[in-house]
Structure 1
C-alpha cells in the first residue's frame, strides 16, 4: 500500500521525537532490536522467499543464502560486537594534556533515511538499518517500488518485530520519494544508480545532509594469460549468474590476452552446460529480469553489439527471462560498453598487453570493484598501485561480499561512504570530541592570556620552529 504523501512529514517528526526522548540510547535496547531483525528474517523466511520469487523470480537457495542468511549473520554479529564498538575512547596524548581528559564519545547521528534498491531488497535494506540501529538512530526505510510484493511485506513485518516508534516503512514511487527528500535528515543512505544518486545528493545539499551513496558501474575482470583459464571462467560465470547479473558487483566485462580469448570462450561454454544442463531459461536456479523495460534494454544492447555472440542466451520477453550470453571481440565504443550492463550479458574485450588492459580500465569511471585472475604477485601489485576502484578482488568474483569485516565502498562514480558491520555503525555515528579542563591547571594556562611577554610568545610559538627530519630521498 502506498504511503500517503501528507503523512510523511509526520512520520519523520515522530521518529525525531523518539530519538530526542533517549529511547534508542541504551546498548541493551539496541541489541534487542538487532536480534529482532535476525528473528524476523529467520521466522518469516518462507514469506520473504515467496515475495522475492514473485517479484524477481529469485531462486529460493539464492534468497536464503544472499539475503536472509546474510541479514541474520550481520544482525547477530553486530549485536554481539556493539558494546566494543560503542565504547567511549580516550586517545593517547602528551602527559601535560592528560589532566584535560580528552575523550571521544560515540553519538548517534539522529533520524536517518535509507533508500534501498530492487535487486537485493532484503539485505540492501537491512544491512544499513542494522548499522543505524546499532548506532542508536531512528530510521525511515524506503524500499523500491519495483518489488511491490516484498515492499508490502516489509511494511507488514517491520512493526511486528521492531519498535514502530523507531523504524517506519514508507512505500511508493517518485512522489513519495520526492517528499522524503524535501525533508531534513541527519543522514541519507542511498543504494542505486548514479542518475538517481545525483537527485538525492542535490536534495541533501539543501540541508547539508551527509550522504552514503552505494552505486555501481562497469566492474572489469582482467585475466592473466598464465592463470588457469578454465577455473577463471567457472568463477566468473558463477559471479555473473547471481541474480541474473543484476547486482552492482557483477563482473561487467572481461579483458584478456587476445590469443587466450577462444580458450576462455570454450571454458564458459563448458561451465554453462554444467551449471544449466537444460539451459537457464526455465531453470529454477536462475532469476528473472526485474521489469519489461530492463528486459528490452538488455536485448537492445545485444541487438546493437558489433561483437560475436558465442554463447547465445535465449530470451522470453513475456516471462522477463534472459539466459547468460557471452560476446567476444568487443571493442571500445560497442553498445555493451556504453553503460553498466546489470544483466546476464558478458562481453570479452581482447587486449595485447597488461598495459593496454590497465589503460582501458583507467580511461573509464572508477568501478565499484576490479576483479583480476593471476598468481603473479608483481601483476597484482601493479593493479593495486596503478588503478582505482572501490575494492580489488583477486581470483574470484562476488564472494568477497561474504567477508562482512571488510569495508565496502565505491569511489567517484561508483559512490562513497563505507559500510558492512562496524563500518556501517561508524557511518551512522558521530565521533564527539571532548575535554574537561580542571580548575587546578589554571597556573599552566596563564601563559595563553594577553598581554604576552616575550617569554610567553616564544613558548606559544615553539611548534613553528620544530626541527624537521631530513628525507631519505
Structure 2
C-alpha cells in the first residue's frame, strides 16, 4: 500500500472544498449518479473484494459475500432509491402563531467531511458512511485502515476510477497521515473504531468545534433465560463469536447464564463447536484469521492471563495469525479478558443466579453497543430492556440487527454516539436549515402592534392572541372580544398563506 504524501493531504481537502463550493453536489440528480457509480464500483468488482478480504483477514469467501458484499450493495441500492425523498424540503408542523410565515425545513449538506474506518469490515464500514455523506450532498475524504492494506489499496484505486475526483478522495496511511488529517478543519468527522482512538479524534475535532459521529464497540453481553432453547442459543452465539474470527463490534463479548443450566449450556457449546469444525478449527476453511501479529499477541495475552477454565480452544499460531475459538468458563470479572473489548474468537461464560444479577452485572459497566437476550418470555425480555442501556437490543438473534431495514445503528456512552446508516446517516451528514417567509402586508393590518412605542394596549392584545399557558397554573379566560381577534388572525394568516 502506497501512503499518501503528507504535503498532499491539505491540498486534497482544499480540492474537495472547491468541489463542494461548485454547487454540483447540491443537485440531487448528481448525487444519485454518484451513488449509482458507487454501486457499480462494488458490484462489478466482486471477486476483487472477496480476494482482498481473504488477503487481509483470511476471511472465507462465503463470509465475505454474505456478511459484507451483499450487505453493501443492498444498502447502496436502498440509499439510491430513497435520496430524493430524504432530500425534499419539508413544511414545518402547523401552528397558528407561525404558519403565515410558511416555515420550512431545508436539508442541506454540511460541506466536506472526513470518514475514518476500521479494518474489520473494510468495505461495508467505508461505504456505509460514504453513501450517507454523498446522499446528503457532501464531499468526503475516506481514510481506510492501514491494517487492511489490500482492501485500502483496492478502495483507493476503484474510487478514483468510478467516482468524481472533486467529490470523494482516499487518503492512505497510518498514524502520521491520520494525525495530519485531524489537524485540518472538517465540517463533520465520522470515526468507527475503539474508544482509545476515539478520544484522540474527539480532542482534535474539539479544536475546530467540528461535529463528530463515533461508532465504537464495547463488551456486548448475552443474557440466557433458563427456559429458552439452549441448543439454539448456543449455536447462534458460537456462530456469531466465530464470524470474522470475532472481529466485529457487535459480536457477543460474554455470556451470563443461570447456574441451574450452566452445565447443560456448556455441553451444548462443546457439541456445536465439534459440528462447526469436525476436523478442528485450524484446518477449517470456515474461520477467518486475526488481522495482524499485534492483535494476535493481544488475544494470546488475554488467554494466558485468564483465571477462568479453558473448556476448549486456547491455541495460538502467531505466524498464521490464528486464534482458535476459545471457551473460558467463569473468568474473574476484574481480569483483562473482562475489562476490554475482546475483538476475537474468545467467549467468556459467567454464572449468575437470575436475571436481576445479570442486569446488575451489566449496569456496573460501560454501556455496550448491543445487549442480546435469549428468551421466549416477553416479561423476561422487557425486564432486561427496561432496566439497561445499550446502543441496540436484540432477542434470540445476533449480528443481524445491523442489517434490519429501517433501524438505526449506533451506540450510547462509551459505545459511541450518532448514527450513520440509511436515513439516519443522511440526517447525520445534513444540516436542517429552518426557513420562513413572512408577507409584508401583515404589518399594515396586524403586526404593527409589535413595534415601538410599546403600549399597554398592544401588550395585552398580543398576550391574549399568542399566549398558551399551562392550565394548572394559569387558565386562560377567553373574553367575548378575544374570539373575533383570533378569528381575524386566522383569516388573515390563511389569506397570506394562499396569496403569497
1:162-311 equivalent positions in 2, closer than 5 A: 162-311=163-312
Deviations 1:214-268 (A, max 9, x none): 0011000000111111110011111111110001100000001012111111111
Q: How many residues align?
A: 470
Aligned residue for 2:386?
Answer: 385
1:468 equivalenced with 2:466 (yes/no): no
Deviations 1:8-63 (A, max 9, x none): 01100010011011111111111111111111111111111111211110111111
Contact 1:301 1:335 in 2 (8 A): yes
Instruction: In structure 2, list runs of 5 or more residues that go unmatched.
Output: 474-500
CA contact under 8 A between 2:227 and 2:375: conserved in structure 1?
yes
What's the CA shift for 1:314?
2.6
- CA distance, structure 2, for counterparts of residue 467 and residue 186 of structure 1: 40
Aligned to 2:160: 159
1:74 touches 1:404 (CA, 8 Å); kept in 2?
no
CA contact (8 A) 1:281 1:315 kept: no
Select the structure of larger CA radius of gyration: 2
> Is residue 330–residue 350 contact of structure 1 (8 Å, CA) maintained in 2?
no
SS in 2 for 1:439: coil
Q: 1:74-473 maps to which residues of 2 (within 5 A)?
A: 74-442=75-443, 443-462=445-464, 466-469=469-472
Distance 1:435 1:325 in 2: 61
CA contact (8 A) 2:234 2:269 kept: yes
How far, CA to CA, are the matches of 2:141 and 2:371 in structure 1? 33
1:23-62 → structure 2 map (5 Å cutoff): 23-62=24-63
Gaps of 5+ in 1: none
The answer (yes or no) to whether the contact 2:224–2:257 under 8 Å persists in 1 is yes
Instruction: Note the C-alpha offset of 1:271.
Output: 1.1
Please give the secondary structure, in 1, of the residue aligned with 2:282: coil
CA–CA separation in structure 2 for the residues paired with 1:264 and 1:451: 80
Counterpart Cα distance in 2 of 1:459 and 1:239? 66
Secondary structure of the 2:67 match is helix
1:465 is displaced (CA, Å) by 6.7
Mapped partners of 2:462, 2:307: distance in 1: 70
Rounded to whole Å, the distance in 1 between the matches of 2:316 and 2:461 is 78
Question: Deviation string for 1:167-219 (max 9, x for gaps)?
Answer: 00000111110110000000000000000000000000011100000001100
C-alpha contact (below 8 Å) 2:182/2:205 kept by paired residues: yes
For the Cα contact (< 8 Å) 2:228–2:374, is it kept in 1? Answer: yes
Q: Secondary structure at the match of 1:318?
A: coil
1: distance between equivalents of 2:246 and 2:152?
Answer: 22
Residues 411-463 of structure 1: CA deviation (Å, up to 9, x unaligned): 00000001211111111011110000111111322121122221322344456
Q: Which moved more, 1:327-336 or 1:173-182?
A: 327-336
Could you state the TM-score of these two structures normalised by the residue count of structure 1? Answer: 0.97
Structure-2 separation of matches of 1:80 and 1:126: 16
Q: Tell me the TM-score normalised to structure 2 length.
A: 0.92
Distance 1:282 1:28 in 2: 50
Deviates more, 1:306-315 or 1:455-464: 455-464
The 1-side partners of 2:78 and 2:403 are apart by: 13
Tell me the C-alpha RMSD between the 2 structures. Answer: 1.3
SS in 2 for 1:221: strand
Give 1:304 deviation, angstroms. Answer: 1.1
SS in 2 for 1:457: helix
Q: CA deviation at 1:161?
A: 0.7
Cα distance change on mapping 1:85 and 1:195 into 2, 3 Å: same
Secondary structure of the 2:3 match is coil
3-state SS of paired residue (2:286):
coil
User: Greater shift after overlay, 270-279 or 108-117?
Assistant: 270-279
After TM superposition, the structure 1 stretch with the greater mean CA deviation from structure 2, 138-147 or 260-269, is 260-269
- Per-residue deviation, 1:96: 4.9
